[in-house]
Amino acid sequence: MKIIEKDELRGIITKIVREEIEAMIREAKKEIREVVKTELLPGLRSIIRETISKELEEVASQPQIAEAKEEAEGETELTITAEAGEDHVSGLYLYGIADVAVRTELGEIGIEGNEVYTIPCKGLSAIVHNCPPEPYKSDYDEVVKGWVKTHQHVLDIAEEKLGTIIPFGFDRIIKPGDNVTAEETLGKWMSDEFDSLMEKIEKIRDKKEYGVQIFYIPSVMSDKIGEESEEVRKIKEEMNSKSPGVAYMYEQKLEIAIKKEMESRIDPYFKDFYERIKKHVEEIKVEKTKKTDEKDKQMIMNLSCLVAKDKYKELGAELEKIDNMDSFSVRFTGPWPAYSFV
């Protein structure tokens, strides 16, 4: 009788287990594939999209990116159409309107390498490239991000060569109509809106848009309130003399008192900052505040500011003073084309 050594026995058992597992996998191959397809892949796609979205957040704070995110989802106001209807002839992608009447080529710098050129009308020129008569669409944020960056790049080059530009947001498409070309449609619209377009050009001439976001740091402000508020000091003193059970109740009371005091201080700070910023800008738009990934920061102010080219340093100096204050930090971005003011 052969005596099987322990290692040999372990090897036999391992082989049997492996064979059994392989047999089970072969039998359940179809079921496993279905589980991967229905359960695992959607989760992986969701994680990938969340990761891309986080990477886009900083860029998404730029006015043209935020606008593109909405428009890429299919809003109907993206197009200018002829009254006679539309067909499948080439459309025009509109980047902006220049304060000069000239027909020129800017090169293959457009979205997807398209040739960008200008179409003059009266004293203005449209900056365009040829495209299908439908909005650009993609299920991938990264692709949209690339398109929008190219859109911005075209406007930067156009401004260097042509002067003041009325910027249009991503995905403005001019459609042709029955027996009416897209260029004819665009020319009619520019002619009809000429006075309005000239007003916008004068409004933004020699000016740029800047983004100003101001945050407060709750933990720092809470410490400051603890030092300055008589009510908070009184609650702390009472809490120190109580038993642990009762002290817990006072902790809740303390949190409520600090939160209330913090909220009462934010509004005066907002008004103060607004007035200080207003002195250095031509126009202000108050935007919605946004959540931040930084746990210890909360946004109290989100502004789009139209600033004369020779005034941005003064605005920057004022914002630096605010940034140096206890409890506050500032994010100052730009310059951008004046998307928010045209």
pLDDT tens-digit profile of 153-200? 999 999 999 999 999 999 999 998 888 899 999 999 999 999 999 999
Look at residue 36 in the predicted model and tell me its pLDDT.
52
Query: In 3D, which of 307, 342, 267, 274 has the Cα closest to residue 96?
Result: 342
59: tokens are 């860029």
List Cα–Cα distances, 202 to 184, 185, 308, in angstroms.
26, 25, 12
3-state secondary structure of 293: coil
Look at residue 318 in the predicted model and tell me its pLDDT.
95
185: tokens are 């449609």
125: β partners: 98, 120
Question: Using an 8 Å Cβ cutoff, are 303 and 286 in contact?
Answer: yes
Higher pLDDT, 64 or 133: 133
Look at residue 316 in the predicted model and tell me its pLDDT.
94
Inter-axis angle of helices 41-60 and 63-71, nearest 10: 140
Look at residue 268 in the predicted model and tell me its pLDDT.
86
Three state DSSP letters for 28-88: CHHHHHHHHHHHHHHHHHHHHHHHHHHHHHHHHCCHHHHHHHHHCCCCHHHEECCCCCCCC
Q: Rounded distance, CA 72 to CA 193, Å?
A: 26
pLDDT band at 29 (very low <50, low <70, confident <90, very high): low
pLDDT at 243 over 60: no
Q: Rounded distance, CA 322 to CA 216, Å?
A: 11
Chain-centroid distance, C-alpha 31: 42
| pLDDT, tens digit (0-9, with 9 covering 90-100), for 96-136 | 999 999 999 999 999 999 999 999 999 999 999 999 988 99
Q: Rounded distance, CA 218 to CA 286, Å?
A: 22
pLDDT band at 77 (very low <50, low <70, confident <90, very high): very low
pLDDT at 305 over 90: yes
With 0-12 CB in 10 A as exposed, 13-18 as middle and 19+ as buried, what is 193? Answer: middle
Query: In 3D, which of 157, 150, 153, 162 has the Cα closest to residue 97?
Result: 162
Order across the sheet with 91-98: list the strands.
79-80, 165-174, 91-98, 124-131, 116-121, 105-107
Chain-centroid distance, C-alpha 59: 5
Taking CB atoms within 8 Å and a gap of at least 24, the contacts of 257-265 are 257/229, 257/231, 257/232, 258/222, 258/225, 258/226, 258/229, 258/232, 261/225, 261/229, 261/231, 261/232, 262/218, 262/221, 262/222, 262/225, 265/221, 265/225
Look at residue 147 in the predicted model and tell me its pLDDT.
94
pTM to 2 decimal places:
0.64
Look at residue 79 in the predicted model and tell me its pLDDT.
45
Query: In 3D, which of 283, 287, 295, 277 has the Cα closest to residue 60?
Result: 287
Residues in the chain: 342
**b or e along 142-181 (b: 16 or more beta carbons within 10 Å of the residue's beta carbon)?**
eebbebbbbbbebbebbbeebebbbbbbbbbbbbbbeebb
Look at residue 242 in the predicted model and tell me its pLDDT.
57
Look at residue 255 in the predicted model and tell me its pLDDT.
66
Mean pLDDT over each residue of the chain, to the nearest integer: 78
| pLDDT, tens digit (0-9, with 9 covering 90-100), for 53-62 | 454 444 444 5
CA angle 21, 27, 30 (to 5 degrees): 120
